[in-house]
């Protein structure tokens, strides 16, 4: 009985120690994952190391994010004083971020606001960087430099504000003196607005009818176009061409007739031909008139005395 109890105690102690070991390993894993998460590092991804030396690295510490164009690609692993001068920073970069030679590093942000990060300006060309490569750095302006640059800007802004204040005062003075004119202008604008509103209200129904007629006409034209096919249009074009041909031929005929008539008139004016001679020779006209009178007398005598001209013999 005593041996059974001792075996049970051994098993219970083993399982207790096993549970404690599992809990310790789990806690350690969670601790590592938590640290990587707080450092904005991929939880299960691998990384490679890059270094950079800065003249100043205020606010940079382990866990400071490393960004490329505002996107986190790693974290600062260690910050230490360099042997020669400045500050040496070691960074862990995600393996899926491929950086090339020519990439530069700079420290940006304001330490007082806990907004510091190491920014990498990635190069487009060059060989891939190897693990442990040192990046050239670009120093950004410090807060003192920003203040020095801001002083002239502030002075110019103050001058502009003073000028603006004077302008506003002058405008207020002018507006105060012309308040009746402004009131009349406002009343005129209100009256004009009311007139326009009344006009729109009055002409709304005619405009609607006009729009309705226009839509109906458009629909009719569309229906007419739909009813016309290519054969009909082709025949219409052929008829138009035939009519144009006949018109041109008639015009040529009329032009030729006009030329002939002009030639006849020219002959008449020149006295050529019988009609021309009649117009140009008065004696010929009188002889023709005398002949006509004689013929009239003969016809009258023939009507009165036909036997004088016709004889009948009866056998």
Taking 3-state DSSP, the helix, strand and coil percentages for the chain, each rounded to the nearest 5, stand at: 65, 15, 20
- Distance, CA of 154 to CA of 167 (rounded, Å): 20
What distance in Å separates the CA atoms of residue 174 and residue 293, rounded to the nearest whole number? 112
Q: Strands, E, within the chain: which ranges?
A: 47-54, 65-68, 71-81, 87-94, 104-108, 117-121, 133-135
Tell me: pLDDT of 275 over 70. no
pLDDT-derived band of residue 93, with 50, 70 and 90 as boundaries? very high
Q: What is the mean pLDDT of the chain?
A: 76
Q: What percent of the chain is modeled with pLDDT above 70?
A: 71
- 104 in Cβ contact with 124 (< 8 Å): no
Domain boundaries, the chain: 1-38, 45-140, 143-176, 178-227
- 287 or 171, which is more confident: 287
- Residue 203 near residue 196 (C-beta atoms within 8 A): no
Residue 54, exposed/middle/buried by CB under 10 A (0-12, 13-18, 19+)?
buried
Q: Summarize pLDDT for 281-308 with one digit per residue, the tens.
A: 666 667 767 777 878 887 787 777 776 6
Q: Is the pLDDT of residue 76 over 90?
A: yes
- In this predicted structure, which of 22-26, 143-147, 166-170, 198-202 has the lowest mean pLDDT? 143-147
Strand partners, 119: 67, 106
Q: Which two tokens stand for residue 104?
A: 């530069």
Residue 279: CB atoms within 10 A of its CB come to: 14
Confidence of residue 315 (pLDDT cuts 50, 70, 90): very low
Task: Give yes or no for residue 140 having a pLDDT over 90.
Answer: no
Give mean pLDDT, residues 142-153.
Answer: 58
More confident residue, 134 or 110: 134
The answer to whether 111 and 59 are in contact (CB under 8 A) is yes
The predicted-structure confidence for 81-90, as pLDDT tens digits, reads as follows 888 788 999 9
> Residue 284: what pLDDT?
62
The encoded tokens of residue 115 equal: 């907004």
Nearest to 71 by CA among 40, 106, 47: 40
Using CA atoms, how far apart are residues 111 and 141, in angstroms rounded to an integer? Answer: 13
Dump pLDDT digits (tens) for 255-265: 887 787 787 77
pLDDT band at 242 (very low <50, low <70, confident <90, very high): confident
């Amino acid at each position: 009985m005593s041996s059974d109890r001792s075996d049970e105690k051994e098993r219970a102690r083993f399982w207790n120690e096993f549970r404690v070991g599992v809990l310790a390993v789990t806690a350690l894993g969670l601790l590592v994952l938590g640290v990587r998460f707080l450092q904005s590092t991929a939880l299960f991804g691998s990384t490679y190391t890059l270094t950079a030396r800065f003249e100043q690295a205020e606010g940079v510490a382990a866990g400071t994010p490393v960004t490329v164009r505002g996107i986190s690609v790693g974290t600062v692993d260690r910050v230490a004083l360099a042997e020669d001068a400045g500050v040496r920073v070691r960074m862990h970069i995600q393996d899926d971020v491929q950086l090339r030679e020519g990439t530069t590093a700079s420290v940006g942000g304001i330490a007082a606001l806990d907004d510091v990060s190491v920014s990498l300006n990635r190069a487009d060309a060059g060989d891939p960087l190897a693990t442990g490569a040192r990046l050239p750095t670009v120093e950004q302006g410090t807060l003192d430099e920003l203040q020095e640059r801001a002083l002239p800007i502030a002075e110019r802004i103050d001058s502009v504000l003073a000028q603006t204040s004077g302008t506003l005062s002058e405008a207020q003075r002018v507006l105060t003196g012309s308040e009746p004119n402004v009131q009349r202008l406002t009343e005129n604008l209100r009256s004009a607005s009311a007139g326009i509103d009344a006009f729109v209200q009055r002409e709304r129904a005619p405009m609607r009818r006009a729009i309705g007629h226009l839509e109906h006409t458009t629909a009719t034209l569309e229906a007419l176009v739909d009813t016309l096919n290519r054969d009909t249009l082709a025949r219409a074009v052929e008829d138009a061409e035939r009519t144009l041909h006949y018109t041109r031929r008639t015009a040529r005929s009329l032009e030729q007739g006009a030329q002939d008539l002009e030639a006849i008139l020219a002959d008449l004016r020149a006295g050529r031909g019988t009609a021309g001679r009649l117009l140009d020779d008065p004696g010929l006209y009188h002889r023709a008139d005398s002949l006509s009178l004689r013929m009239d007398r003969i016809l009258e005598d023939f009507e009165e005395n036909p036997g004088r001209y016709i004889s009948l013999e009866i056998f």
